[in-house]
Each structure stands twice: as C-alpha cells, then as structure tokens.
C-alpha cells in the first residue's frame, strides 16, 4: 500500500527538566550552540492535508509560536506524565480562533489524568474561554486521523504503560526502557525510528544511549534519531561524532521526511 508522504518536525527534544536545566552550570547548560537548547519532547506530524501533534508539553505554547502553527487537526498522547500533558490548556487558542473542537487521542490512564487535571474543560457548565476538547480512546488497533494512519505500540516506562506510535514508515518512541517482542514486530519495517536516549548512565525508566543504539540495530531500521535527551548526555556535536553513521541526535526544529 502506498504510504502518505509525511513531514516530521521535532518541537522539543529534551527530557522533563528541559535543557538548559534550571540552576545548572554544566558545559551543556551554558552552551551557546542552539542544538544544546532543548524544550520538552514533542513532535508534529504532517501530510499535505493533516497536522497532528504528539503530546502537549509545558512548552507547547512556545513550540506553536516558533513553528508559526495556525491549525492542528488532533493531538495524540503517549502517557500522562506532566512533561507530556502540561501544556494542554493552550490548545484553547486553536479552538477559539478556528471554531473547532480539538480531538484528543489517549489511552485509559492518560484520559483519566486529562479529565482530572483539566476538569474545567470537561465540565457540564463551562467557564467562557476554556479549551473545547473531545477525547477518543486509543485501543490496540490502528486508526486514521485525516489521511494519516497511526498504529499504537505498547512500551514500558518502568512500570507505566506508554504508547509509541507508527505513522506509515516512521515510528516514534519516547519515555521507554523496555519493549516486548510482539510490540517490536510492529516497529520492524520502519524506514525511520525515533528513540529516547536520556544519558549514558543506566536509568530506571529510559533507554541509555547504548541501549537505544542496540535497539535500532536489533530492529534493523536504516535511519534513527534520538530524543528526550538530558544535559547529562553531553554536547550535541560531541555525541553525534560517537554515533553510528545511520543514527544522530535530534534537535529542536529539525524537520525530516518519511
């Protein structure tokens, strides 16, 4: 089946604290190289007719402003941690100016968090100006948003179930440190994969740099980018030089075709 051509923009590539990290004077946090400045991790996936954002980070407003985004058709969520949902209120600008209800796609635990944290947006009698939202549950089956096909992939973030997503030939995996064999089969055949690579040292809920490299090699995906990067990983250019030829660190604003 012919795949819809997609453009993927990295809206943010940093971990939960962002880079630079508040009160830190390490060489990454004081770097003047813009590639070492990382907002919280999110991507925008676009076809010629459809625009989807994955996760609304605490930096969502600025991410939309700096990409000059005027409309999004839907938001899909990976999991309910604050660095992935805390910017949702700013969707109200899209719902106001575009006179639309914003579709949100989420698993059960994320839906529960959204309804709890943004209770006012789901109230029967809404205060004027709140975002207009509608949640669609994500199950195990593929689904369509506009002309973009999305396959959910279940991954583990320590004990928390997290969703990765495959969009045609492109797979996005953030906040994971384990993937079961049957879920890896859903990733195989991708032409591009994005994987979280927090740092070099072992972490309780994220892949390390080497673990991310090993995963890409195991899955035999020809092109890979790493995201959800902490200041502990090191300087962007220095780490890129250490990586295999088919893998590189993503950076905020990077745009790729899939």
Q: Could you list the pLDDT tens digit for every one of the 258 residues in the chain? A: 568 899 999 999 999 999 999 999 999 999 999 999 999 999 999 999 999 999 999 999 999 999 999 999 999 999 999 999 999 999 999 999 999 999 999 999 999 999 999 999 999 988 888 999 999 999 999 999 999 999 999 999 999 999 999 999 999 999 999 999 999 999 999 999 999 999 999 999 999 999 999 999 999 999 999 999 999 999 999 999 999 999 999 999 999 999
d(CA 164, CA 197): 14
In the chain, DSSP assigns E strands to: 7-12, 42-46, 51-54, 74-76, 102-106, 133-137, 143-145, 148-157, 160-167, 170-173, 192-196, 223-227, 247-249, 255-257
Cα atoms found within 13 Å of the Cα of residue 214, Cβ hemisphere only: 9
| Predicted local distance difference test score (pLDDT) of residue 126 | 87
Q: Tokens 């839906």 map to which residue?
A: 111
Tell me which H or E stretch contains 234: none
SS (H, E, C) 159-222: CEEEEEEEECCEEEECCCCECCHHHHHHHCCCCEEEEECCCCCCCCCCCCHHHHHHHHHHHCCC
> Domains of the chain (ranges plus CATH)?
7-257 (3.60.15.10)
Distances, alpha carbon 10 to alpha carbons 40, 150, 163, 200, in Å: 10, 18, 18, 22
| Predicted local distance difference test score (pLDDT) of residue 3 | 80
d(CA 209, CA 226): 8
| Predicted local distance difference test score (pLDDT) of residue 77 | 98
| Predicted local distance difference test score (pLDDT) of residue 53 | 98
Whole-number CA gyration radius for the chain: 18
d(CA 121, CA 161): 25
Residue 91 CA, distance from chain mean position: 16
| Predicted local distance difference test score (pLDDT) of residue 1 | 54
With beta carbons less than 8 A apart as the criterion, state whether 161 and 191 touch: no
| Predicted local distance difference test score (pLDDT) of residue 213 | 98
DSSP 8-class letter at 253: T
| Predicted local distance difference test score (pLDDT) of residue 121 | 96
| Predicted local distance difference test score (pLDDT) of residue 12 | 98
| Predicted local distance difference test score (pLDDT) of residue 200 | 98
């Amino acid at each position: 089946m012919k795949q819809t051509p997609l453009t993927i923009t990295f809206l943010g590539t940093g971990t939960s604290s962002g880079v630079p990290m508040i009160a830190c004077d390490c060489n990454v946090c004081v770097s003047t190289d813009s590639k070492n400045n990382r907002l919280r991790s999110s991507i925008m996936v676009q076809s010629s007719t459809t625009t989807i954002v994955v996760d609304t980070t605490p930096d969502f407003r600025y991410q939309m402003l700096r990409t000059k985004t005027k409309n999004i058709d839907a938001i899909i969520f990976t999991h309910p941690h604050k660095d992935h949902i805390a910017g949702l209120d700013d969707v109200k600008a899209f719902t106001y100016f575009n006179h639309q209800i914003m579709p949100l796609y989420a698993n059960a635990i994320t839906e529960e968090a959204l309804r709890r944290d943004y209770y006012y947006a789901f109230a029967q009698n809404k205060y004027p100006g709140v975002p207009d939202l509608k949640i669609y549950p994500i199950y195990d089956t593929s689904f369509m948003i506009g002309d973009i096909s999305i396959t959910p992939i279940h991954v583990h973030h320590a004990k928390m179930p997290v969703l990765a997503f495959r969009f045609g030939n492109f797979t996005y995996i953030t906040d994971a440190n384990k993937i079961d064999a049957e879920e890896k089969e859903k990733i195989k055949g991708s032409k591009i994969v994005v994987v979280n690579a927090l740092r070099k040292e072992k972490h309780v809920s994220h892949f390390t740099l080497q673990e991310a490299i090993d995963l890409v090699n195991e899955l035999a995906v020809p092109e890979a980018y790493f995201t959800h990067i902490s200041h502990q990983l090191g300087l962007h250019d220095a780490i890129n030089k250490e990586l295999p030829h088919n893998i590189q660190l993503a950076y905020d604003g990077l745009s790729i075709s899939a």
